[in-house]
């Protein structure tokens, strides 16, 4: 479950102007800056990825989404000499990655270019996991607020030209404090997320520091009755996204941020479909809690490891990525980094770990600087397995 506050990133906020939903995409694309050439670090240039799937398992830090770009760059600089942290996770609002005109990715490219340049400038270069935020969390909008108004600032403004605003206000009291979400179960909206995925793949798939792309948020949705949502429609559109994205992200892992879905059969179908061709990692967005005696189970986690005694145990065949959010660090449950790491290692066999750069919930053991990073250093940045997963068919590129 994503953290219970609006994931709008302060430094990503932009002044959005009205756009024509049918405006030509080519005109917007022409405004994009040229893609960077080779990534150079201290005079040494890393060649673009020519073959295989980028595979650099280990620990990644999810940058504080409340902070400015200046503060986030300072946090990255602090990792310059750190060998136990492989990279960062940046979750960017959809509106930061695509402008008010469909297909205008120019500001998004500038943003990602800046982060890749910063990561490449470190003494020990770090890698990037980029995620698209297509929903918001926090206090539900006041009664009578239109969906388009509620989504202003984190969804591209052209979506508001749809008759339904391109989004929906979540059911009151939705788990995880979900407030507003794009209608990604509708083909017209998923078309735009597919187009975004294709554009970013063309620019970044060959970049050796661009490790992973998360094109949709978690699988859990809390759309209210009457919104037109159905889990079967959502499943169809997610499969469409993976179909299209796997054809263009040839060297970069795609992440299925699975937690809950309409039925066990649908979740199993989605995991199998997405991961069938390799290049897809499953997992997140938080562990089963509390630890070690779990009472809050997570559907995807149980199905992935065949915890109920039926199905196929996918551990070691399909890679798993674990993510640590506020819920396990002090919101509702307070776990130590060792508790969480042991769960993801011993239970889920994770190859990647993403830790929130926490500085506001829990106590010193749960804070990034006094608890999480020292723990990662104490285990020398190890994870359960760094072996190339079977589904990747020995195509892992560790350069």
Beta bridge partners, 88, equal: 61, 128
Q: Domain containing 260 — which CATH number?
A: 3.20.20.150
- What distance in Å separates the CA atoms of residue 248 and residue 197, rounded to the nearest whole number? 8
Nearest to 98 by CA among 56, 135, 132, 61: 132
Inside any domain, residue 1: no
Inside any domain, residue 357: yes
Inside any domain, residue 2: no
Inside any domain, residue 65: yes
Chain centre to alpha carbon of residue 384: 21
226, two tokens: 């009457």
Residue with tokens 């906020």: 13
Quick: pLDDT tens for 367-381: 999 999 999 999 999
Range of the domain at 388: 10-397
How much is the pTM? 0.87
More reliable by pLDDT, 33 or 59: 59
Nearest to 322 by CA among 398, 376, 395: 376
Inside any domain, residue 3: no
Burial class (CB in 10 A: 0-12, 13-18, 19+), 256: buried
- What distance in Å separates the CA atoms of residue 144 and residue 318, rounded to the nearest whole number? 45
Inside any domain, residue 176: yes
Residue with tokens 């798993």: 320
Inside any domain, residue 201: yes
Most confident of 42-56, 134-148, 183-197, 218-232: 183-197
Inside any domain, residue 87: yes
- What distance in Å separates the CA atoms of residue 377 and residue 355, rounded to the nearest whole number? 13
Q: What is the dihedral of CA 171, 173, 177, 179, to 10 degrees?
A: 30
Indicate the number of domains in the chain. 1
Quick: pLDDT tens for 136-150: 887 778 888 888 888
- pLDDT, residue 175, reads 61
Quick: pLDDT tens for 223-278: 888 899 999 999 999 999 999 999 999 999 999 999 999 999 999 999 999 999 99
């Amino acid at each position: 479950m994503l953290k219970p506050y609006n994931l709008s990133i302060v430094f990503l906020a932009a002044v959005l102007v009205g756009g024509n939903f049918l405006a030509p995409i080519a005109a917007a694309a022409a405004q994009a800056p040229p893609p960077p050439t080779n990534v150079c670090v201290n005079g040494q240039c890393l060649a673009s990825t020519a073959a295989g799937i980028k595979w650099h398992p280990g620990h990644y830090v999810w940058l504080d989404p409340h902070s400015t770009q200046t503060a986030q760059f300072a946090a990255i600089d602090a990792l310059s000499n750190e060998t136990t942290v492989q990279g960062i996770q940046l979750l960017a609002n959809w509106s930061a990655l695509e402008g008010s005109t469909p297909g205008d990715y120019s500001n998004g490219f500038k943003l990602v270019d800046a982060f890749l340049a910063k990561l490449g400038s470190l003494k020990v270069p770090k890698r990037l996991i980029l995620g698209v935020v297509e929903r918001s969390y926090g206090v539900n909008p006041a009664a009578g607020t239109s969906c388009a108004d509620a989504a202003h600032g984190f969804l591209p403004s052209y979506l508001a030209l749809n008759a339904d605003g391109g989004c929906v206000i979540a059911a009151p009291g939705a788990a995880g404090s979900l407030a507003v979400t794009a209608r990604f179960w509708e083909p017209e909206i998923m078309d735009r997320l597919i187009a975004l995925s294709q554009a970013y793949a063309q620019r970044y798939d060959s970049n050796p520091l661009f490790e992973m792309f998360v094109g949709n948020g978690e699988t859990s949705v809390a759309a209210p009755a009457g919104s037109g949502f159905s889990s079967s429609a959502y499943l169809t559109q997610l499969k469409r996204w993976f179909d299209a994205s796997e054809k263009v992200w040839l060297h970069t892992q795609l992440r299925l941020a699975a937690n809950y879905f309409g039925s066990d059969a649908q979740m199993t179908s989605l995991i199998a479909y997405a991961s069938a061709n390799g290049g897809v990692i499953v997992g997140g967005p938080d562990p089963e809690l509390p630890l070690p005696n779990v009472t809050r189970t997570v559907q995807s986690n149980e199905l992935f490891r065949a915890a109920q005694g039926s199905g196929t145990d996918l551990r070691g065949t399909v890679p798993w990525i674990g993510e640590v959010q506020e819920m396990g660090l002090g919101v509702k449950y307070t776990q130590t980094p060792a508790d969480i790491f042991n769960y993801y290692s011993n239970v889920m066999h994770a190859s990647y770990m993403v830790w929130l750069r926490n500085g506001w919930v829990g106590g010193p053991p749960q804070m990034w600087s006094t608890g999480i990073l020292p723990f990662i250093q104490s285990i020398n940045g190890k994870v359960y397995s760094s072996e190339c997963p079977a589904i990747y068919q020995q195509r892992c590129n560790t350069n």
